[in-house]
């Protein structure tokens, strides 16, 4: 049974996601349709790219990812199918959304979608349903995509911002604030100095003090802030039983400067 995982900014209020699924089911019914999220920040390609890269790692290797955060829908941006060496495949718009996840799996072949050859009616604003769902349906039902797909090399290579790591000082960025207000940075656990007890933290010019680095939320008292490595594998700023985003007024995109005693692991 094939697995199709969906990531969009379509939201849960509307019927858009169900229409995407309805098209896929017209090609094949015994399929596991898994929602990654449909509530990523509207049109926020960077945040969605981060969420996709984190989530896609956990899926089985033959999963097809249908991804739509698509501010340019209807314009000349192309649609893509990306095959990776792990076997995972990504279908969605060419705006960088899928690139960080695909790169992690090893980009093997990128094709653009020739919508004219799909032989379906295509609206100007809903390519998730009218283009990408058809391509996914054909892929999982063994239908030949024939000349719908054309090798393509000029695709958008979106790089997630990297932390700036120096001796005693890291500048990192909040890439995602989760439902709990946990503020997830772009500093991977492999980039955190060993045996560190705390960071001194500056956020947007404010010194917000010394915050311990712990292993789990309840390692500090309720209401106290902490750093820890979350399920994503990245450093996050949290508050035990509370919201770091509310407490420190953090939103995705904000920069943190962390200073500490010692050397970074990469030096």
Contact residues for a second copy, defined by CB under 8 A = 1, 3, 5, 7, 10-19, 21-23, 25-26, 29-40, 42-43, 51-52, 54-55, 58-60, 63, 71-75, 123-126, 129-130, 176, 178-180, 215-219, 228-231, 233, 241
- The kind and range of the H/E element at 168 are none
CB nearer a second copy, residue 62 or residue 159: 62
Q: Which residues contact 2 (CB under 8 A, 6 or more apart)?
A: 28, 31, 32, 62, 64, 140
Show the 3-state SS of 190-204. Answer: HHCCCCCCEEEEEEC
* CB 258 within 8 Å of CB 169: yes
CB nearer a second copy, residue 178 or residue 202: 178
Work out how close the CB of 151 gets to a second copy at its nearest, in angstroms, rounded to a whole number: 26
Work out how close the CB of 31 gets to a second copy at its nearest, in angstroms, rounded to a whole number: 8
CB nearer a second copy, residue 20 or residue 258: 20
Work out how close the CB of 16 gets to a second copy at its nearest, in angstroms, rounded to a whole number: 7
CB nearer a second copy, residue 60 or residue 265: 60
Measured distance CA(244)–CA(55) in Å, rounded: 22
- Looking up tokens 């990306």, which residue turns up? 82
Work out how close the CB of 238 gets to a second copy at its nearest, in angstroms, rounded to a whole number: 9
Query: What are the two backbone dihedrals, phi and then psi, of residue 258, each rounded to the nearest 5 degrees?
Result: -110, 125
* Alpha helices, H only, 28-65: 45-56
Work out how close the CB of 24 gets to a second copy at its nearest, in angstroms, rounded to a whole number: 10
CB nearer a second copy, residue 155 or residue 217: 217
Tokens of 201: 């933290």
Query: What are the two backbone dihedrals, phi and then psi, of residue 194, each rounded to the nearest 5 degrees?
Result: -75, 160
């Amino acid at each position: 049974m094939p697995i199709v995982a969906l990531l969009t900014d379509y939201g849960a209020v509307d019927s858009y996601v169900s229409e995407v699924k309805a098209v896929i089911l017209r090609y094949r019914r015994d399929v596991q349709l898994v929602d990654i999220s449909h509530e990523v920040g509207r049109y926020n390609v960077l945040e969605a790219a981060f969420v996709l890269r984190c989530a896609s790692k956990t899926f089985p290797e033959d999963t097809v990812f249908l991804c739509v955060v698509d501010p340019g829908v209807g314009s000349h941006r192309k649609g893509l199918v990306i095959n990776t060496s792990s076997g995972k495949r990504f279908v969605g718009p060419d705006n960088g959304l899928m690139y960080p996840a695909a790169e992690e799996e090893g980009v093997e072949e990128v094709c653009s979608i020739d919508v004219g050859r799909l032989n379906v009616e295509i609206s100007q604003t809903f390519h998730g349903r009218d283009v990408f769902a058809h391509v996914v349906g054909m892929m999982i039902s063994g239908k030949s995509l024939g000349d719908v797909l054309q090798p393509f090399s000029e695709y958008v290579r979106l790089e997630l911002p990297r932390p700036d790591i120096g001796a005693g000082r890291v500048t990192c960025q909040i890439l995602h604030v989760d439902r709990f207000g946990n503020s997830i940075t772009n500093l991977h656990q492999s980039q955190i100095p060993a045996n560190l007890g705390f960071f001194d933290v500056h956020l947007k010019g404010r010194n917000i003090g010394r915050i311990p680095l712990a292993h789990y939320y309840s390692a500090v008292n309720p209401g106290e802030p902490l750093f820890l490595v979350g399920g994503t594998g990245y450093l996050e700023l949290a508050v035990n039983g509370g919201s770091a985003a509310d407490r420190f007024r953090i939103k995705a995109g904000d920069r943190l400067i962390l200073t500490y005693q010692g050397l970074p692991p990469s030096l």
